[in-house]
Structure 1
Amino acid sequence: MSKTIYILNGPNLNLLGKRQPEIYGHDTLDDVARNCAAVAAEFGLETDLRQSNHEGEIIDWIHEAREKAAAIVINPAAYTHTSVAILDALNTFEGPVIEVHISQVHKREPFRHHSYVSHRSDAVMAGFGIGGYALAVRHLGLTLGG
């Protein structure tokens, strides 16, 4: 079994730390990658963090994860609320899936309250800032028996 957790990020998260810091904070995806790698290492796991502004690329990574990853942590960003295609791809993945949102989406605009991805997710982390990613990885480390 693979010991890699794919951490997939959707549109605009490449601007994390620069875009709307009052909502998303000042930390960057590099900070997320470092934090998650450190937590994963405690369980003998590795992480592979990726970000794309393109839905098809995220779907391709989910398909790749079927062969190469033990679990997926995904922050689909705006695709959360719109992408049946990402949901369909996640439904082909047999390992655990954790959905992460930096902000508490249920305190934001009503359209953000619906998630297609949640229909497949085994857990959802929302409102923990970037710490939600590390919490997800820690949970997976415990779940995967690391």
Structure 2
Amino acid sequence: MAKAPKVLVLNGPNLNMLGTREPDVYGREGLADIENACHAHGKTLGLSVDCRQSNSEGQLIDWIQGARESHDALVINPAGYSHSSIAIMDALLAAALPLVEVHLSNIHRREAFRHHSYVSRVADGVICGFGSRGYLMALDALALRLNTQQET
């Protein structure tokens, strides 16, 4: 049996507050709920899913750099770093892995400063506005990209 491709799911600042932070914008699910759903859905897709969250830009960059050697693809919700972190964008470029950017809310229907994402510039795809379902959609896309699932 072939080893399951590993997908690193990264969550940026304040996402540890999901479920209590602005639930009308970000939903009522906690981060642990989203991570559990990612693990379960990944398993059905033949993927091994590794979920991590940090409020620290440097920690996220360290994980991205390490993923180049340890993972096959990335899903990232960079949260507020989307709009400000050239360093995260550069780390993602250097990692050179298939990449899907996820946002719980539709960033294009929100404040103007949220419309720009440095991460979008280097992502293979961007999913926003579908709440936590966006993470599962990202895993679906990566499973197709990594050839663990056949397109239907």
**Structure 1 length normalisation: TM-score?**
0.97
* Runs of 5+ unmatched residues, structure 2: none
Look up the match of 2:95. 93
Cα distance, 1:118 vs. partner? 0.7
Look up the match of 1:19. 21
Cα distance, 1:43 vs. partner? 2.3
Cα distance, 1:56 vs. partner? 0.2
Question: CA offsets, 1:81-134, max 9 Å, x none?
Answer: 000000000001122000000000000000000000011100000000010001
Look up the match of 1:70. 72
The count of aligned residue pairs is 146
Residues 1:46 and 2:48 are matched in the alignment: yes
Distance 1:80 1:112 in 2: 8
Distance 2:33 2:4 in 1: 24
Distance 1:86 1:97 in 2: 13
Contact kept? 2:7, 2:74, Cα under 8 Å:
yes
Name segments (4+ residues, structure 1) moved above 3 Å: none
Distance 2:105 2:140 in 1: 19
Alignment match of 1:61 (pick from 60, 63, 73): 63
Name the SS for the 1:120 alignment partner.
Answer: coil
Contact kept? 2:65, 2:91, Cα under 8 Å:
yes
Distance 1:133 1:124 in 2: 11
Contact kept? 1:2, 1:68, Cα under 8 Å:
no
Look up the match of 1:110. 112
**Structure 2 length normalisation: TM-score?**
0.93
Say what the alpha-carbon RMSD is for the aligned residues. Answer: 1.1
Residues 1:141 and 2:143 are matched in the alignment: yes
Distance 1:78 1:97 in 2: 18
Distance 2:12 2:45 in 1: 26
Alignment match of 1:35 (pick from 34, 37, 44): 37
Cα distance, 1:143 vs. partner? 1.4
Distance 1:138 1:39 in 2: 9
Identity fraction in percent: 51
Distance 1:142 1:34 in 2: 21
